[in-house]
Amino acid sequence: MKSRHPDLPVFIVGHSMGGAISILTACERPSDFAGVVLIAPMVQMNPDSATPFKVFLAKVLNHMLPSLTLGSIESKWVSRDKKQVEAYDTDELNFHGGMRVSFGMQLMGAAARIEREIPSINWPFLLLHGDADKLCDIRGSRMMHENAQSSDKKITIYEGGYHALHHDLPEVAESVLTEVTSWITERLPATKSPQPQGS
């Protein structure tokens, strides 16, 4: 995008695991982005499910049976909109199988890297998270908002919101789109209007 539009600021928007990737990308190349928008990002593992025993077990299994599959995502927690859940279930581009142990280890590694990076984050970011999200722990978003150095940071909690806020109930999805658009627009450089000829 930078080579195609060298004069335009670049923003990165990431959701869920894409949120984790966006955070790590912005940490590696902070000067590439004018801002980062994160919708229900995976910032840390849910401490209720990633107990010390389960983490230990995952490490053992990763050495012995790395391709062993664990439980898959329950699609009913993606959105409160039944049509969106049906669309998720029938989308062939979504992976509907179980998560492999080796993949789970990669997620844990990413979460550990993010936790180390958060105190040095100083780029602008907007965090959006539903407080009923059962797939990515909201505590991670709160922790990032509290501990990042950024002077330009904002968190919006959607009451009752599920995981894919941009595909949640129509009024929530619309509110998310409006907020993201406004946040980005406010950070665009002011453009000079062309002067009329002969003035």
Full-model pTM: 0.83
What's residue 44's pLDDT? Answer: 86
Query: What digits encode the pLDDT tens for the residues 10-28?
Result: 999 999 999 999 999 999 9
What's residue 97's pLDDT? Answer: 78
48 is a catalytic site residue: no
Superfamily name with CATH number, domain 11-186: Alpha/Beta hydrolase fold, catalytic domain (3.40.50.1820)
Domain ranges of the chain: 11-186
133 is a catalytic site residue: yes
Query: What digits encode the pLDDT tens for the residues 118-156?
Result: 999 999 999 999 999 999 999 999 999 999 999 999 999
What's residue 1's pLDDT? Answer: 85
59 against 22, higher pLDDT: 22
Tell whether the model's pLDDT for residue 68 goes beyond 90: no
Q: For 62-69, which contacts have Cβ atoms below 8 Å and span 24 or more sequence positions? A: 62/101, 62/102, 62/105, 65/101, 66/100, 66/101, 66/102, 66/105, 67/100, 67/101, 67/102, 68/100, 68/101, 69/97, 69/98, 69/99, 69/100, 69/101
Catalytic residue (choose from 22, 129, 133, 166): 133
Catalytic residue (choose from 16, 22, 141, 175): 16
Catalytic residue (choose from 163, 166, 167, 175): 163
Query: What digits encode the pLDDT tens for the residues 29-50?
Result: 999 999 999 999 999 876 666 6
141 is a catalytic site residue: no
Over range 63-83, report the average pLDDT: 78
166 against 52, higher pLDDT: 166
Query: What digits encode the pLDDT tens for the residues 173-194?
Result: 999 999 999 999 999 987 655 5
